[in-house]
Structure 1
Amino acid sequence: MRMIQLSDLHFGTERPEVVTALVEVIHQLEPDLLLLSGDITQRARRAQFQACERFLARLPLTPLLAVPGNHDLPLFNLWQRLVAPYAHFRRTFGCDLAPCYQSDEVLVVGVNTTRPGKHIDGSFSTAKVAAVSRQLELSDARVKIVMGHHPVEAVLEVDEKNIAAGAEAAVRAWSRAGMQLYLAGHIHYPFCSRLDRRYPDVPSNCWTFQAGTAVSRRVRDHKANSFNLIEWHSAQEELLLSRWDFSPVLPGFLCAEQLQLPLRGRPDSSGAG
């Protein structure tokens, strides 16, 4: 099974040449599931969601799972932010802000980490942690993934403030319930990391995979526009993670980094220490 994670598209700030290249590579990769981990728009305007709809219409017909980011809530329209903060998001993606995908072998649980009362910060409420834990525990899937917008880990000191409130409780509960991978965006800084580095006693084969910004000109530290590819090969019981970066030389996206994720019950062969 092949999944593509797109994050921080920020329609309203998109680079047209990168959008075109992204459409082309998604057609080439033929994913079985498309994951959008928030900040789909820059200012949650209807026209920006419509730009995303036009982008999605150019892609192959693929199941889609999307969660909101803080930029998908209105900033300047205070009435809408108070009364119907997710109205435009729901018009595009449906009413469920925490959707779930389930197959015989793969489970992906979405979690809404945004808070309408906060402009930037995210959180994992006690109720959300419990709800996701139940979904993980009830599933017999071999691969269990949770996707939110806000991160649970940071590799740069400046991003410590972006870790969602309640992250430790969420990571510990979900890893006990069988989560192997947490996907997020928000910080426009892609990386992959074992979660036991921040949270001792969490299984060493429980990871987080941060996505960069897929098509926006709002890149950080000269990082390329990028997306994440997650591939589950059931015959070999391999979960492969790779980051694909945009190259203006081609122009197009190329695989820039790849990692085989060791699953529970298998030896930790990643070499990470």
Structure 2
Amino acid sequence: MIRLFHLSDVHFGLEDTAALAWVADCVARERPDAVAITGDLTMRARHREFAAAADWIRGLGVPVTVEVGNHDLPYFNLAERFLDPYRRFRALQGAVNHGISLPGVAIVPLKTTARAQLRLNWSKGRVARRSLEACLGAIDALPSGTRAIVACHHPLVETGTRGKALTRGGTSALSALAKRGVLAVISGHVHDAFDILHPTAYGPVRMIGAGTLSQRLRATPAGFNELIVDEGGLTVRARHDQPVTTTGLDL
């Protein structure tokens, strides 16, 4: 059995300190095999926000993988955003892993961010051909029998939450992932949990979203997902630091 904690949208700089303390306590007591954070680790990609995030991650004491989110690209320094948008994010490499391999399970990254797009809202998702090819190549290279969980920031299609991803290239990406039989696609961005099956020409793909650990709440309290992978498949439980009163979004 493999147990993962799936976090997203921590937004250091506008983080919920009580929620982070609660998660750290859960990790210390329960010792998951790994923690996957699906983007928006920071609020404005400031150096001090990344430094605070790295300190918190190191304190967890378990393997952690972090995917890049739209808030993790420079917001104020446009020259850096266009010339080297992931430089500050790469500085985290001393604290995290990029993709994780566990017994029989691998977390494979899929980048859905872009330094700029041909639309006004650059915060929305985009799956570039190169990013998809890198993800598919990593899946194809896995040892036989390894089940792949793909981790990205933006949901690849809309999931019925209040927040929207509007991910370009997401539908075709899901079809390619379905063809490879991925166990699930985990993401964040919309700040509410979800767990749905999305149909494709190659069969359904399970899409799982984690909520937020920041002050930027939407329909549900701060929380994260607990994923258990065993011979029976994948079980997901959304965990919150307060009771959930909104129906229809909890797992």
**TM class by smaller structure:** 0.7 to 0.9
SS at match of 2:241: strand
Q: Are the aligned partners of 1:66 and 1:93 in contact in 2 as well (CA < 8 Å)?
A: no
Structure 1, unpaired ranges of 5+: 249-255, 259-273
Query: 2:37 is paired with a residue of what secondary structure?
Result: strand
Task: Give yes or no for the alignment of 1:127 onto 2:124.
Answer: no
| Stretch deviating more after TM superposition (163-172 or 125-134) | 125-134
Matched, 1:156 2:155: no
> Aligned-residue CA RMSD in angstroms?
2.4
Of 70-79 and 128-137, deviating more is 128-137
Match of 1:218 in 2: 216
Task: Tell me if the contact between 1:103 and 1:141 (Cα under 8 Å) persists in the aligned partners.
Answer: no
- Please state how far the C-alpha of 1:241 moved relative to its aligned partner: 1.0
1:129-154 deviation per Cα after TM superposition (whole angstroms, max 9, x unaligned): 22222322332234211010011132
Q: Counterpart of 2:123 in 1: which secondary structure?
A: coil
Identity %: 27
Please give the alpha-carbon distance, in whole angstroms, between the structure 1 residues aligned to 2:163 and 2:16: 25
Cα separation, 2, equivalents of 1:189 and 1:154: 12
Please state how far the C-alpha of 1:27 moved relative to its aligned partner.
1.2
Which residue identity does 1:113 align to in structure 2?
T
- The one-character-per-residue Cα deviations of 1:237-264 (angstroms, maximum 9, x if unpaired) are 332111111128xxxxxxx966xxxxxx
The residue that corresponds to 2:232 in the other structure is 237
Task: Output aligned runs, 1:1-273, within 5 Å.
Answer: 1-59=2-60, 61-93=61-93, 99-118=98-117, 119-139=122-142, 140-156=144-160, 159-160=163-164, 162-196=165-199, 199=200, 201-204=201-204, 206-213=205-212, 215-221=213-219, 223-233=220-230, 236-247=231-242
Contact (CA 8 Å) 2:157, 2:171: kept in 1 or not?
no
Deviations 1:4-40 (A, max 9, x none): 1110000011122222111111112211111111000
Q: Mark the CA change 1:166 to 1:4 in structure 2 (over 3 Å): closer, same or farther.
A: same
The answer on whether the counterparts of 1:37 and 1:66 sit within 8 Å (CA) in structure 2 is: yes
Matched residue type, 1:237: G
Give deviations 1:68-93, integer Å, cap 9, x for gaps. 10000111111221222112111113
Spell out, residue by residue over 1:92-115, the C-alpha distance to the aligned partner (whole angstroms, 9 max, x if none).
136x9x933223410210111110
Cα distance, 1:57 vs. partner?
2.8
Give the TM-score of the pair, scaled to structure 2. 0.87
For residues 228 and 157 of structure 1, the distance between their equivalents in structure 2, rounded to whole angstroms, comes to: 16
> Alpha carbons of 1:32 and 1:126: their partners in 2 closer, same or farther (altered >3 Å)?
same
- Structure 2 distance, partners of 1:103, 1:42, is 30
1:144 is matched by which residue type in structure 2?
A
Q: Aligned equivalents of 1:13 and 1:202: distance in 2?
A: 40
Q: CA deviation at 1:156?
A: 3.0
Bigger radius of gyration = 1
Equivalent residue number for residue 246 of structure 2: none
Q: Tell me, in whole angstroms, the C-alpha distance in 2 between the residues paired with 1:158 and 1:24.
A: 29
Report the Cα distance in structure 2 between the residues aligned to 1:216 and 1:101, rounded to whole angstroms: 25
Q: CA deviation at 1:54?
A: 2.0
C-alpha displacement of 1:158: 5.6
User: Normalised by the size of structure 1, how large is the TM-score?
Assistant: 0.81
Task: Name the amino acid aligned to 2:177.
Answer: W
Per the TM alignment, residue 164 of structure 1 is displaced from its structure 2 partner at its CA by 1.4
Residue 56 of structure 1 deviates from its aligned partner by 1.4
Asked if the contact 2:194–2:250 (Cα under 8 Å) also holds between the matched residues in 1, the reply is: no
* Number of positions where the alignment pairs a residue of Structure 1 with one of Structure 2: 241
